[in-house]
Structure 1
Amino acid sequence: MVNRSFKNNTLVVALSAVLGPLAVLFYGMLASPPALADETCNSPYISNLIKGQEEFAYVWTLGVQGMGDGSDKLVTVDVNPASKKYGKVLTSLSVGSRGEAHHIGFTDDRRFVWAGGLDDNKIYVFDIYTDPAKPKLVKTISDFAAKSGFVGPHTFYAMPGRMLVGGLSNNKDHGGVTGMALYNNKGDFVSKYDMPTAKGGDGYGYDIGINPGKNALLTSSFTGWNNYMMDMGKLLKDPAAMKNFGGSLVMWNLKSMQPEKVMSVPGAPLEVRWSLKDGEDWAITATALTSKLWLVKKDAKGGWQAKDVANIGDPAKIPLPVDISITADGKGLWVNTFMDGTTHYFDLSNPEAPKETYSKHTGSQVNMVSQSWDGKRVYISSSLLANWDKKGADDEQFLKLFSWDGKELKEQWKIDFYKLKLGRAHHIKFGSSSLRSAY
């Protein structure tokens, strides 16, 4: 339903010159045919998709002062079982500074990965097409805060010939009020969109998820720079700071890029995942502070509604749900809870009533979870934020691969990022050398 191909961007570029960015977005919404994909959390506009076994895992990694070169870096791992270097680091590409590395995302043609720093507001563009096993840093974008007024570039969501960048904060008071900035694929700023602060909107932002068939863009909410750069122990003991978390989802009109409805979702809803099954029109998210799954779906009158549908672990213990990954058929959901280091699996056969059917302790702290399209492989990384990661022996930093047979997660290998002096492993994306043959 959602995955579509843009193998030729000539028309997109022409439309951009004549009609502007919004027309380009709507063209992409209507014109792109369905295609298979390799991951379940990418933008629906990404073309040149992996079919089958991924070969590389790109891990956006936070630098640690005094460890190696201390810089943030893109680490490339060999994940091809047929390779002699399977489960080993191939390259480590430093950006020369430490700016709270966090999320990454592909451009629509999948030739480049954009990566951001939540503290220094820099955006790094890596070429993963020329040599997928050895990415190259080709551009650094430094005008995110200056051009948009936002800070903390978090989500990188591919549009036709464009990149939509969701911010976490602003450069006036470093609070949670923020928005989205639109760039073209060359890295030029195009426009910005403020998160709504009227009609129930809190102005906060976090993730972006698009359902092109429903002309729907859904955003979630988190917290500002003042909080996410604070030590977690201090934050949890600060009642005033704990009030400064988002509690809303916003449904936007994709064609006009205007907010249409604000939905109250208390507790900082994070990752947004639309069902990928044909004919379905619902999305799901997890709230970090209240440990719940929320379903977003149209009601009988055709209006979008959000409702609490399940608990994740014991909410009273604040397990802190972080990343989630929906299965390709929309019938299952992986959820990582950071505080107790647990990976949960929910049966979504009835999205109105998800049921947890499996859980496993996968590390002292776990954050990102990425599964292969066939659902047989699950990758897990450890770092949340530099000042939120645990202390002492519990501060494990790793990338792990698990196999999944529908009954049990079985660890295949683990890469210790501290032992290799790489830093804190965060966001994961897949790559393959076979993609180059598509051009």
Structure 2
Amino acid sequence: MTLRPDPTFHATPKLAMEAPAETLAFTLMLSPDGSQPDGLAVVDVDPKSKTYGQIVHSLFMPNTGDEFHHFGWNACSSALSPLTGHAFLERRYLIIPGIRSSRIYIIDVKEPLKAKIHKIIEPEEVFAKTGYSRPHTIHCGPEGIYVSTLGGGGKDGTDGPPGMFIMDCETFEILGRYEMDRGVQDKQYDFWWNLPRNYMVSSEWGLPPQYENGIVPEDLLSNKYGHSIHFWDLRARKNVQTIDFGENHQMALEIRPAHDPAKQYGFCGVVVDTTNLEGSIWTWWRKDDGTFDAKKTVTIPPHPAAADDLPELLKGFEAVPPLVTDIDLSLDDKYLYVACWGTGEMHQYDVSDPMNPTLAGKVELGGIVADTKHPTGRDFAYGPQMVEISRDGKRVYWTNSLYSSWDDQFYPEDEGGQMVMAHVGEDGGLTLDPDFYVDFPKGYRAHQIRLEGGDCSTDSFCYPSV
């Protein structure tokens, strides 16, 4: 507990953009075969430092088989909400779930170079208190820590639908399920909200048998993965509307609302259209009558390719789908970054007009067929995947692993974990930093990134920018 709000909390996105730049990044390391414990890497991202672009501290867990995936803070700028009693929390702890083990680690990073385990929540406690499994996305809300899950109960996670639960943001005790009325929601993935407007949006991936051992081609071609987004009355914990993108729009994943809470729109990325292999971005918005609507505003076509150059999964299509696996929105709500994991591209769209995004920049790196090298001449395994943007919007970081079993299917000959960074031009455009290339220890892959002091997929703001 501090005597004043944490200086990394900001009332508005504009104030967050004006805050000091990040000097450290926290990146998850996973052992794809579970032979080694997963870990947290602390990366130096200060260009003035002698260790710029290097891992300056690593923390490994006492267990194996966790598969670290997504993680988040115990507290963020949402603590400044007038409805909370938590304005004096510190942004001090990282909440890291194991997506395979259902174990949750609470990591104290008050001294980042001495990061240590504060608490471990065993899977049995998660099961007993929530009935859910496979914890996935972490968001710090005004009254606690929200956790989405990808599995229900039972050994294979299909006993009941997955959902969300809430943890106490000081004791880290699991309080219980979020949902009072889930409506038709029967799959889960990402979620985010507009706090002053009192609504939340959630999305869908698939159930554990559909992803844990790799993508299930029959389920994909039968359109059995998630293809809807759900709107919730945040405080009533009730699903008030569901929008189905159409069953061919398979895997509606990341939810990115506008950061300025005065704006009532946001974006969702769809991995693949099974009719043509396109990836897509959808803009959703709130109408004057309080209901929601959504429209496809970006399509990204596949790249033709010879069958001999493709993994077994794609040979019959003779094309590489873009595979939109992550998106992120800058704090000024101007640029949306779209990771095309299959084709090996990071796209930058100007979304100043959210209904008419325009391509402003692109970086090619990795890719199933392209296999584009980094400016250093070094390999970049797989393709651009988890993306994170600096608060000032001038730097874009990304890693390369999607999910261990999916990596192996789409990139059967690749191996390794890398993290890179691109600079954003004054009027848009992306340029890879030739001096920033992080190669993670042998046997590890890299997934989500969190930036010191908060970033563009972490913080929720309670007040409009001026």
TM-score range, shorter chain: 0.7 to 0.9
Pairing 1:367–2:385 present: yes
Q: How does 1:369-388 map to 2 (within 5 A)?
A: 369-388=387-406
1:62 maps onto 2:30 in alignment: yes
Q: Which moved more, 1:87-96 or 1:175-184?
A: 175-184
Partner residue in 2 for 1:273: 256
In structure 2, C-alpha distance between the alignment counterparts of 1:388 and 1:213, rounded to whole Å: 38
Residue deviations 1:203-237 (CA, integer Å, cap 9, x gap): 111111111121111111111111221234xx22x
Which of the numbers 224, 233, 236 marks the counterpart of 1:244? 224
Supply the AA of the counterpart residue of 1:181.
F
Q: CA deviation at 1:303?
A: 1.4
What is the aligned partner in structure 2 of residue 42 from structure 1?
none
Is the CA contact (8 Å cut-off) linking 1:178 and 1:194 kept in structure 2? no
The gaps in structure 2 that reach 5 residues or longer are 76-89, 274-278, 304-318, 368-382, 455-466
Structural mapping, 1:140-179, within 5 Å: 140-142=120-122, 143-172=125-154, 173-175=156-158, 177-179=161-163
Q: Scaled by the length of structure 1, what TM-score is found?
A: 0.81
Moved more, 189-198 or 154-163: 189-198
Cα distance change, pair 245–388 in 1 and its aligned pair in 2 (3 A): same
Q: Which residue of 2 aligns with 1:187?
A: 172
Secondary structure of the 2:127 match is helix
The 8 Å contact of residues 195 and 205 in structure 1, kept in 2 or not, is answered as no
Conservation of the 8 A alpha-carbon contact between 2:103 and 2:121 = yes
Structure 2 counterpart SS, 1:261: strand
Matched residue count: 387
After TM superposition, the structure 1 = structure 2 runs for residues 73-152 of structure 1, keeping only pairs within 5 Å, are 73-96=39-62, 97-108=64-75, 109-129=90-110, 131-142=111-122, 143-152=125-134
1:53 aligns with 2:34: no
**What SS is found at the alignment partner of 2:407?**
coil
> Who is 1:71 aligned against?
37
Deviates more, 1:422-431 or 1:271-280: 271-280
Read off the aligned partner of 1:414 and give its amino acid letter.
Y
**Helix, strand or coil: the match of 1:388?**
helix
Q: Which amino acid aligns with 1:428?
A: I
1:278: how far off? 6.1
1:416 corresponds to which residue? Answer: 439
Check 1:292–1:392 CA distance in 2 against 1; reply closer, same or farther (3 A cut): closer
Kindly tell me: are residues 115 and 56 of structure 1, through their superposed partners in 2, closer, same or farther at Cα, counting changes over 3 Å?
same
Report if aligned partners of 2:188, 2:206 keep a CA contact under 8 Å in 1. yes
SS in 2 for 1:103: coil
Rate the CA distance shift 1:231–1:35 in 2: closer, same or farther, 3 A. closer
Per the TM alignment, residue 34 of structure 1 is displaced from its structure 2 partner at its CA by 3.5
Q: Which amino acid aligns with 1:53?
A: A
2:113 is paired with a residue of what secondary structure?
A: coil
Q: How far apart in 2 are the matches of 1:56 and 1:263?
A: 39
Per-residue CA deviation, residues 230-259 of structure 1 (Å, 9 max, x unaligned), is 234xx22x2478543112111111121211
Partner residue of 1:302? 290
Whether the 8 Å contact between 2:187 and 2:204 is mirrored in structure 1 is yes
Deviates more, 1:401-410 or 1:74-83: 401-410
Equivalent in the alignment of 2:188 = 205
Q: Which shifted more, 356-365 or 78-87?
A: 356-365
Residue 289 of structure 2 aligns with an amino acid whose one-letter code is: K
| Range with bigger deviation, 401-410 or 372-381 | 401-410
In structure 2, what is the equivalent of residue 15 of structure 1? none
1:314 aligns with 2:298: no
Q: CA-atom RMSD, angstroms? A: 2.7
Matches of 1:279 and 1:8 in 2, distance apart?
23
Q: Secondary structure at the match of 2:69?
A: strand
1:37 and 1:429 mapped to 2: Cα distance? 19
CA distance in 1, matches of 2:220, 2:270: 19
How far does residue 370 in structure 1 lie from its aligned partner after superposition? 0.6
Measured at CA, do residues 323 and 421 of structure 1 come closer, stay the same or move farther in structure 2, by a change above 3 Å? same
Q: Deviations over 1:76-106 (max 9, x none)?
A: 1111112111111111111132212100100
The Cα shift of 1:160 comes to 2.7
Q: Distance in 2 between matches of 1:360 and 1:135?
A: 33
Paired with 1:319 and 1:403, the residues of 2 have a C-alpha distance of 22
CA deviation after TM superposition for structure 1 residue 279, in Å? 3.0
Aligned counterparts of 1:56 and 1:122: Cα–Cα separation in 2: 26
CA distance change for structure 1 residues 34 and 183 in 2, over 3 Å: closer, same or farther?
same
- Aligned partner (choices 370, 392, 403) of residue 423 of structure 2: 403
**Is the contact between residue 125 and residue 140 of structure 1 (CA under 8 Å) also seen in structure 2?**
yes
Q: Residue 297 of structure 1 aligns to a residue in which SS?
A: strand
The aligned residue for residue 22 of structure 1 is none
The one of 199, 211, 223 equivalent to 1:228 is: 211
Aligned with residue 286 of structure 1, among 250, 269, 276:
269
Amino acid corresponding to residue 104 of structure 1 in structure 2: F
SS at match of 1:182: strand
Unpaired segments ≥5 residues, structure 1: 10-31, 40-49, 434-439
Following superposition, the deviation at residue 287 of structure 1 comes to 0.8
Shift of residue 6 of structure 1? 11
Deviates more, 1:389-398 or 1:93-102: 389-398
Provide the C-alpha distance between the structure 1 equivalents of 2:140 and 2:330, rounded to a whole number of angstroms. 20
Alpha-carbon distance between aligned partners in 1 of 2:403 and 2:5, rounded to the nearest angstrom: 38
